[in-house]
Amino acid sequence: MNLPPQQIKACCADAYSRDILALLLADSYHPGGATLTRRLANQLGLRSSGKPRRVADIASGVGATARLLAAEYDATVDGVDLSQINVNRAQAAASQARLGAQVRFHHGDAEELPLPDNAFDALICECALCTFPDKNAAAREFARILRPGGLAGITDVTITEAGLPAELTSLTAWVACIADARTVTDYTSILASAGLQVRHIESHDESLLEMIDRVDARITALGIAVPKLLADNGVATDAVLAYVRLVTDAVKAGRIGYTLIIAENHDTQGSISDENQPTGHHHAQCDHLAGHGSPPKVLKLQ
């Protein structure tokens, strides 16, 4: 489905600033929640650095990740989000948590970040790169704001070479972070073209399934308890549940996954994670990483 980039951006920004989404997703807007955010932060070396780090949070939403990084990792965080509503909410929440001195939020586009060059030790982008219409532009921006040797930590929906069923390429699928998801190979190439060398990859498909199951259960319960509230907010319960179950089938069939990627800015030195390769579609994708140095190994967490 071909949609104008500005329409995609506007729809995603609007959807992720609606109160009904918070009701459906509860306290986590991305698979794995705070647990996977901590895993990502640890892979970025934020806890082991021994000194405060400056981190960019791309597509920061209502600021949960930024607050976690500030509170638990003593990071100074700049969040960027396309929704001014989310920026306002995130800043208010940071102030309420007494983290206003460490955390700032900016209204802006990931493809043209309102952040300075070579200023950040690390950046985080959770379940959002797949929604950016121009992923190459976003990757170039990641590289621009990172200092040399800085790390980009990404968690996102991934697909196999077989692609998606046609039913999962609609505007709804864009908002749900599925329609323009790419293979691990594609993401690696996009990052490499911007000067970001992938160092580590992990599969977290189970986090995606857990989130889908949670959304399914919440929609079912809300459909029984407050059907008018859902209807008034444009949520057609039966249609959404059918869609959620279609996604579930695609994940269980191995066509959709969720992947953690660590990439280093302009520094080809250093070692790649020494972990066992899993079987399945992520391993097959990494077999195609020729041309980007030694392929990063993939860890399948159980």
Residue 175 has pLDDT above 50, yes or no: no
pLDDT mean over 268-274: 38
What angle in degrees, to the nearest 10, is found between the helix axes of 237-252 and 205-225? 160
Q: What mean pLDDT is predicted for residues 18-22?
A: 58
Assess whether pLDDT exceeds 80 at residue 213. yes
User: Percent of the chain beyond pLDDT 90?
Assistant: 51
Fold of the domain spanning 5-300: Rossmann fold (3.40.50)
**Least confidently predicted of 52-56, 71-75, 80-84, 217-221:** 217-221
| pLDDT for residue 27 is more than 90 | no
How does residue 202 score in pLDDT terms, banded at 50, 70 and 90?
Answer: very high
Mean local confidence (pLDDT), 40-44:
96
Domain residues of the chain, as ranges?
Answer: 5-300
Give mean pLDDT, residues 174-189: 80
Distance CA 251, CA 246 (A): 9
Residue 297 has pLDDT above 60, yes or no: no
pLDDT band at 249 (very low <50, low <70, confident <90, very high): confident
With a cut of 90, say whether residue 35 has pLDDT above it: yes
Residue 169 has pLDDT above 80, yes or no: no
Please tell me which residue, 27 or 46, carries the higher pLDDT value: 46
User: Rounded to whole angstroms, what are the CA distances from 269 to 24, 147, 148, 223, 227?
Assistant: 44, 15, 12, 53, 56
For residues 12 and 131, is the Cβ–Cβ distance under 8 A?
Answer: yes
pLDDT digits 0-9 by tens, 122-161: 999 999 999 899 999 999 999 999 999 999 999 999 998 8
| Between residues 70 and 4, the one the model is more confident about | 70
Instruction: Look at 43-57, 149-163, 261-275 and tell me which has the smallest mean pLDDT.
Output: 261-275
Whether residue 273 has pLDDT greater than 90: no
Which bin fits 112, alpha (ψ -120 to 50), beta or left (φ > 0)?
beta
Residue 40 has pLDDT above 70, yes or no: yes
pLDDT confidence tier of residue 16, bands split at 50, 70 and 90: low
For residue 123, the model assigns a pLDDT of 98
pLDDT at 274 over 50: no
> Considering the chain, what percentage of its residues have pLDDT values greater than 70?
73
pLDDT surpasses 70 at 41: yes
Q: What is the DSSP string of 216-276?
A: HHHHHHHHHH-HHHHHHTT--HHHHHHHHHHHHHHHHTTSEEEEEEEEEES---SPPP--P
User: What's the pLDDT at 238?
Assistant: 81
Residue 219 is predicted with a pLDDT of: 80
